Each structure stands twice: as structure tokens, then as C-alpha cells.
Amino acid sequence: MRVVAIVGALTGALCIEEMVKQGDEVVAVVTDPSDPNPGMPAGWSVKEMADRYFLPVYQPPPTRINQPGFIEAMRRLHPDMLVAMHYGVIFKKPLLSVFPRGAVNMHPTRLPRGQGKTPSCWHMLMGDTENWITLHWIDEGIDTGDVIAQASVPITPDDTGHTSTCKLLEEGHRIFAENLPLLREGKAPHVLQDGIAGVRKLSYRWEPGFARIPWDQPAEKVALHVRALSHPKEIQTYSGAAFTCLAGHRVTVWKARVAEVRNRQGQKTVPGEILALAGDGVLVQTGRGLLEVTDADVDGAAHAGLPGLIELLRPDLKAILGGE
């Protein structure tokens, strides 16, 4: 089978390798112009994987994917199928018509829940106990095509958004490898999304501002927000890390936990107010309960980590997080 792969991230790299190993002819690999970037985790580079197998690589700006020049270039390759994963473009009908055997996509939610631009830690952010991934057919809607397969990974207490995402993307590779022979033979399932029991349709579109910490929520939810968006500092993610603002500075919060201490009875506080230094961090008031921030970086600070935040707070410890 002749395949055009428009892919990114770990699943994209693994699935390129899988198609080569199963004997498919990958006639084009299309990925973001920034791949590989200096902060990319080992094994996540689609271009490096394609180079390993001497596959032709295209890295146009994503805005050109649905333009006539790109479509014609793909048509001249006489492909059978399009495989798309973790590439932030909605494919229009002229491009989809190039592939006689159809097009498939990997989406990091349990469709039809979470249709749209969602980070791979979406279920974790929603407070679910599992992160889900779906392999589905592409139609002209946004993540509305029939489902081929779905899988999940449990979210453990030690997971961050990054560690859970890594597990999920590897699980995505597994279901792709299992269903690739069926795609090749024209026997892959077509399960209507409306027919998936117990899953309600929910459209979603992640925006950068959503990473901002909601201090008015309970401490448990704020701690989950930070944990779900946490990742190694040297890499970049689609969702971005949890952040807040203090005195005109952006503060990225990497680690936080629900504090065991409680407010003094009758003490008047507001959500986002820094109350004290305690233990390994800074105590912050939330909508209900206290949060202990144990790792945070202030943009432009002379010191990394909490020392930079504490330096910004002097001489008066009390301050309100969340302002501009």
C-alpha cells in the first residue's frame, strides 16, 4: 500500500517505522518545519525517523497543506491512503479526494468526547482515571469520522501530563500496528461515533489561555491542573505548562500539591493570595483549601525555581497571584 504520512510527535514517528516494517511504501512523510527542534524528547522526531529509512520528507508551512500546489504534489505520488497523526490542520475535501482508500487519523480522546483541538492529557485535565486515544477515519468534519479502534492507559498518582502522554502515544502506536493489516486489506472497522455506548459527544478547542491556573477552584482541582500540564522544563508542549501572573511577571508553576495545613479560623483571604513560606514551598489560597507550590519559574528572574519567586515577593511576602 502506498501511503502519505502527515504526522508529528512520538506516535507519528513510531507509526512511520511500523508501516515500513510491515512492508508498506511510505511515498511521502509530511511534518512540521520545526521538526526536529532542540527541546524535542528522544525518539519523537518524525524527520529523524524518516531519514533512518531514507523516506522523502516534506516540511511545508501547515497553512499550505490544503493549497493546490501541495495537493498536486501528493497526487503525482499516486498514493492509496493518508495516515495523519498529531498534525494541527483540518484536511479539506480536495486533499482527501487524492486518497482512494481513504484517510485515517489518531486523536487523543475517547471520541466522540473531546472532538477538536485537545492536548494528549485532556482526559487527565478533566479529572478522568484514564487517558484515551482513538484511531478513526477522516471525513469532512472535525474528528467526526467513524471509529476504527480505541484504547486507554490508566492515570497513576505519580503521572504528570507528560508521563501519561508518553504512555498514551505508545498505546496509539499499538492500536495502529494491530489495525494496519486491516487497513491494507480494506477490512478496518467503521463504527459510528453515535454508536459508542456511554460516551457523549463533546466538542472542545484548547486555547493557550486555558493553561492559566484557576485559583478560584478547590485546591485539589488546582493541583490536578498543574500536574496535568507539567512536563520536563527543556521541552515544549502543545498545551503549555500551568501559569499565573505576579506583578507583571509570568510565573510558570511546575509542581504543586494540596497543603496539609488549614487557614486560621476567621482569617480573611482571597484566591491566589500567597500566605506564607512553609515546608518546601509557598502556600497559596485557592477557592477552597491551600495549595503548596513547590517548583515555579518567574520569567526574567535572576534565579530559577522558587528562589526567583521569593525574591520577587520581598520585602512583603503577601501578594496576589493571577493578576496581569
217-246 burial string, b = 16+ CB within 10 Å, else e? bebebbbbbbbbbbbeeeeebbbbbbbbbb
Structural domain boundaries enclosing 97? 2-203
Taking the C-alpha atoms of residue 297 and residue 124, their distance in angstroms, rounded to an integer, is: 23
Three-state SS at 5: strand
Residues 314, 251 share a domain: yes
Instruction: Please check whether residue 248 is in contact with residue 257, taking contact to mean a CB–CB distance below 8 angstroms.
Output: no
Residues 289, 188 share a domain: no
Cα-based angle 34, 38, 43 (whole degrees, multiple of 5)? 85
Return the HEC string of 175-213.
Answer: HHHHHHHHHHHCCCCCECHHHCCCCCCEECCCCHHHHEC
Instruction: Please check whether residue 143 is in contact with residue 157, taking contact to mean a CB–CB distance below 8 angstroms.
Output: no
Q: What total number of domains does the chain contain?
A: 2
Residue with cell 502506536: 173
Residues 237, 89 share a domain: no
Residues 227, 137 share a domain: no
Return the HEC string of 17-52.
Answer: HHHHHCCCEEEEEECCCCCCCCCCCCCCCHHHHHHH
Output the nine-digit C-alpha cell for 19. Answer: 508501516
Taking the C-alpha atoms of residue 31 and residue 10, their distance in angstroms, rounded to an integer, is: 12
Radius of gyration (C-alpha) of the chain in whole angstroms = 22
Tell me what pLDDT residue 40 has: 83
Residues 310, 273 share a domain: yes
Residue ending a domain, among 178, 203, 228, is 203
Residue ending a domain, among 179, 203, 227, is 203
Cα dist. 242→125, 133, 252, 272 in Å? 11, 23, 6, 14
Residue ending a domain, among 140, 170, 203, is 203
Q: What is the pLDDT along the chain (324 residues), one digit of tens a residue?
A: 999 999 999 999 999 999 999 999 999 999 999 999 877 888 899 999 999 999 999 999 999 999 999 999 999 999 999 999 999 899 999 999 999 999 999 999 999 999 999 999 999 999 999 999 999 999 999 999 999 999 999 999 999 999 999 999 999 999 999 999 999 999 999 999 998 999 999 999 999 899 999 999 999 999 999 999 999 998 888 899 999 998 888 999 999 999 987 766 556 789 998 888 877 789 999 999 999 999 999 997 777 887 878 777 765 556 667 765
Residues 214, 182 share a domain: no
Residue with cell 498536486: 72
Cα dist. 274→218, 221, 284, 299, 323 in Å? 15, 18, 4, 18, 13
pTM, two decimals, is: 0.91
Residues 116, 223 share a domain: no
Q: Residues near 287 by Cβ (< 8 Å), separated by ≥ 6?
A: 215, 216, 217, 218, 219, 271
Instruction: Please check whether residue 257 is in contact with residue 291, taking contact to mean a CB–CB distance below 8 angstroms.
Output: yes
Residues 35, 150 share a domain: yes
Residues 54, 199 share a domain: yes
| φ and ψ at residue 311, rounded to 5 degrees | -60, -40
Residues 248, 228 share a domain: yes
Residues 79, 17 share a domain: yes
Three-state SS at 319: strand
Count CA atoms within 13 Å of residue 293 on its CB side.
33
Q: Residues near 73 by Cβ (< 8 Å), separated by ≥ 6?
A: 58
CATH number at 145 reads 3.40.50.170
